[in-house]
């Protein structure tokens, strides 16, 4: 019998240690987050030396390194993880990462990784079906930022067919919500219209786009013969978690003949929930949608859907050299559709979670995350020493403590957040809204309970009292 190759022995041990790591995380046995300067961590582990070990470091030290890696990581499986918009991935999704890493089939062409393309097609078709596009097209890319760019490239090719060769016409405009993700403004820079051409459509006090204002802005642009690249709408906004009114926005865009791109990176996943689907009512009126499975669908990062209503739109983004097509179906040449040449087998991450759990379980998880945001809102509103600026629509909530009615500075709000992180007790983010900084939770973990949220509230309250008193 062949001796067991060392990497499989290592893999056996690492799977056992991964299980222990997940258990510790779920049981809240470690700090949920530990912030250490990356260079200090690099030095303390001796990473530069390990990299330069001429004979390699061998099994024991690799195992130790992976153990150290688990230990230093932010525990997304810990129910006290309430910060960033990444999924709490099911381990089955990580097995998708493993299967890709081992096969390493880059599949810029179908023949290089037929299985990866087949899985991608299945996931994309499922996403298109959820939107209600029976004849759409799409692909998967490495993240929402590239997804936004991919969609707006197709919008540019549609609005300005000569842009590839001649650049964009002077004065081209991109209409966006003022609360859109920063990757959208970056797209304007990358696409060559320039960030000055990004027009924030007037919004209501919640930062949600006002359809009549969009209508007026598009009418004015058309009357002035100003070139329009596209309109972007949020589903939902990163900082606030609020949705733009997609049906009204979609009807206006169709009336003006303007491409509508819906940034559904975070919130398009409500499409699987009977309860919350109404938040994206009208999404099918869009020309393009992006949808991250690595945010609300339990998939490990990255797996972002780039989805188009039109069957050929996925081929519009790039000018293709006709030679590539000789004798080969376009469907068999993924690189014709994507910015990237080599890609990971992105589909497996989402496919395995969906197939393993079934849609109903994922919808139940999503409903729980949304219910948690409402529970926390009520808890904080019932207390006199908290301020909640917005009724949540998704699993994102902003709030501010007001210890003894005191208005804290933005720096004090940040200090509260830091103190929780330093204690490793809860991990929250912060966001600016209406000119002030707010604590922000994104309730990504279905294992987070009402008791956790009560504990978090108590901790924020006690830190606010201390930090507020110190600042008096």
| Of 262 and 464, CB closest to ligand PLP | 262
User: Applying CB under 6 A, which of residues 157, 265, 390, 416 lies at the interface with ligand PLP?
Assistant: 265
| Of 263 and 459, CB closest to ligand PLP | 263
* CA pair distance 459, 419, nearest whole angstrom: 10
394 forms part of the interface with ligand PLP (CB under 6 A):
no
* CB 442, min distance to ligand PLP, A: 9
* CB 280, min distance to ligand PLP, A: 13
Per-residue binder mask for ligand PLP (CB under 6 A), 83-122, x = binder = --x-------------------------------------
| Of 145 and 273, CB closest to ligand PLP | 145
401 forms part of the interface with ligand PLP (CB under 6 A):
no
| Of 78 and 263, CB closest to ligand PLP | 263
User: Applying CB under 6 A, which of residues 145, 372, 395, 445 lies at the interface with ligand PLP?
Assistant: 145
* CA pair distance 273, 382, nearest whole angstrom: 28
| Of 287 and 292, CB closest to ligand PLP | 292
238 forms part of the interface with ligand PLP (CB under 6 A):
yes
Stretch that binds ligand PLP, among 127-135, 141-149, 206-214, 421-429 (CB under 6 A): 141-149
User: Applying CB under 6 A, which of residues 80, 156, 261, 266 lies at the interface with ligand PLP?
Assistant: 266
Collapsed DSSP state (helix, strand, coil) of residue 280: helix
Per-residue binder mask for ligand PLP (CB under 6 A), 148-167, x = binder = x-------------------
298 forms part of the interface with ligand PLP (CB under 6 A):
no
144 forms part of the interface with ligand PLP (CB under 6 A):
yes
Stretch that binds ligand PLP, among 87-95, 163-171, 258-266, 456-464 (CB under 6 A): 258-266
Per-residue binder mask for ligand PLP (CB under 6 A), 165-184, x = binder = ----------------x-x-
| Of 347 and 468, CB closest to ligand PLP | 347
Residue with tokens 């030095």: 43
SS (H, E, C) the chain: CCCCCHHHHHHHHHHHHHHHHHHHHHCCCCCCCCCCCHHHHHHHCCHHHHHCCCCCCHHHHHHHHHHHHHHHCCCCCCCCECCCCCCCCCHHHHHHHHHHHHHCCCCCCHHHCHHHHHHHHHHHHHHHHHHCCCCCEEEEECCHHHHHHHHHHHHHHHHCCCHHHHCCCCCCEEEEECCCCHHHHHHHHHHCCCHHHEEEECECCCCCECHHHHHHHHHHHHHCCCCEEEEEEECCCCCCCCCCCHHHHHHHHHHHCCCEEEECCCHHHHHHCCCCHHHHCCHHHCCEEEEEHHHHCCCCCCCEEEEECCCCHHHCCCCCCHHHHCCCCHHHCHHHCCCCCCCCCHHHHHHHHHHHHCHHHHHHHHHHHHHHHHHHHHHHHHCCCEECCCCCCCCEEEEEECHHHCCCCHHHHHHHHHHHHHHCCCECEEEEECCEEEEEEECCCCCCCHHHHHHHHHHHHHHHHHHHHHHC
| Of 236 and 348, CB closest to ligand PLP | 236
* CB 84, min distance to ligand PLP, A: 8
* CB 236, min distance to ligand PLP, A: 7
288 forms part of the interface with ligand PLP (CB under 6 A):
no
Do β-strands 429-433 and 436-442 pair in parallel, antiparallel, or remain unpaired?
A: antiparallel
Strand residues in 45-145 grouped as ranges (E): 137-141
| Of 136 and 267, CB closest to ligand PLP | 267
* CB 24, min distance to ligand PLP, A: 27
- For residue 340, with 0-12 CB atoms within 10 Å meaning exposed, 13-18 middle and 19 or more buried, which class applies? middle
User: Applying CB under 6 A, which of residues 187, 304, 431, 464 lies at the interface with ligand PLP?
Assistant: 304
Stretch that binds ligand PLP, among 16-24, 27-35, 42-50, 262-270 (CB under 6 A): 262-270
| Of 305 and 345, CB closest to ligand PLP | 305
Residue ranges that bind ligand PLP, judged by CB under 6 A? 85, 143-145, 148, 181, 183, 238, 263, 265-266, 292, 302, 304
């Amino acid at each position: 019998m062949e001796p067991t190759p060392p990497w499989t022995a290592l893999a056996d041990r690492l799977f056992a240690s991964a299980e222990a790591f997940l258990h510790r995380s779920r049981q809240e046995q470690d700090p949920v987050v530990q912030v250490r300067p990356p260079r200090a961590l690099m030095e303390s582990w001796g990473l530069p030396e390990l990299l330069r070990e001429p004979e390699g470091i061998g099994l024991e030290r690799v195992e130790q390194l992976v153990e150290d890696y688990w230990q230093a990581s932010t525990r997304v499986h810990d129910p006290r993880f309430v910060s960033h918009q990444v999924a709490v991935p099911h381990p089955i999704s990580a097995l998708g990462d493993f299967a890709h890493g081992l096969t390493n089939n880059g599949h810029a062409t179908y023949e290089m990784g037929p299985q990866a393309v087949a899985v991608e097609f299945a996931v994309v078709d499922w996403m298109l079906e959820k939107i209600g596009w029976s004849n759409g097209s799409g692909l998967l890319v490495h993240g929402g930022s590239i997804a936004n760019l991919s969609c707006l490239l197709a919008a540019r090719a549609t609005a300005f067919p000569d842009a590839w060769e001649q650049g964009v016409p002077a004065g081209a405009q991109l209409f966006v919500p003022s609360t859109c993700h920063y990757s959208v403004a970056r797209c304007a820079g990358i696409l060559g219209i320039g960030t000055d051409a990004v027009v924030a459509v007037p919004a209501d006090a919640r930062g949600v786009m006002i359809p009549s204002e969009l209508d007026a802005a598009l009418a004015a642009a058309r009357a002035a013969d100003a070139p329009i690249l596209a309109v972007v709408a949020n589903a939902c906004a990163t900082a606030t978690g609020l949705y733009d009114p997609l049906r009204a926005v979609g009807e206006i865009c169709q009336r003006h003949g303007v491409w509508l791109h819906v940034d559904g990176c975070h919130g398009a996943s409500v499409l699987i929930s009977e309860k919350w689907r109404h938040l994206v009512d009208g999404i099918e009126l869009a020309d393009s949608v992006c949808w991250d499975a690595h945010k609300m669908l339990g998939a490990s990062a990255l797996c972002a859907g780039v989805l188009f209503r039109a069957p050929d739109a996925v081929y519009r983004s790039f000018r293709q050299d006709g030679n590539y097509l000789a004798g080969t179906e376009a469907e068999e040449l993924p690189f014709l559709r994507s910015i990237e040449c080599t890609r990971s087998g992105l589909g497996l991450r989402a496919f395995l979670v969906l197939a393993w759990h079934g849609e109903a379980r994922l919808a139940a998880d999503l409903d729980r995350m949304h219910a948690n945001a409402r529970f926390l809102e009520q808890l904080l509103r019932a207390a006199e020493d908290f301020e909640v600026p917005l009724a949540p629509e998704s699993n994102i909530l902003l709030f501010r403590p007001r210890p003894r009615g005191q208005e804290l500075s933005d720096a004090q709000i940040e200090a509260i957040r830091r103190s929780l992180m330093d204690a490793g007790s809860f991990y929250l983010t912060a966001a600016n809204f209406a000119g002030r900084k707010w604590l922000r939770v994104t309730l990504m973990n279905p294992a987070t309970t009402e008791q956790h949220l009560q504990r978090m509230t108590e901790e924020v309250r006690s830190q606010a009292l201390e930090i507020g008193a110190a600042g008096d």
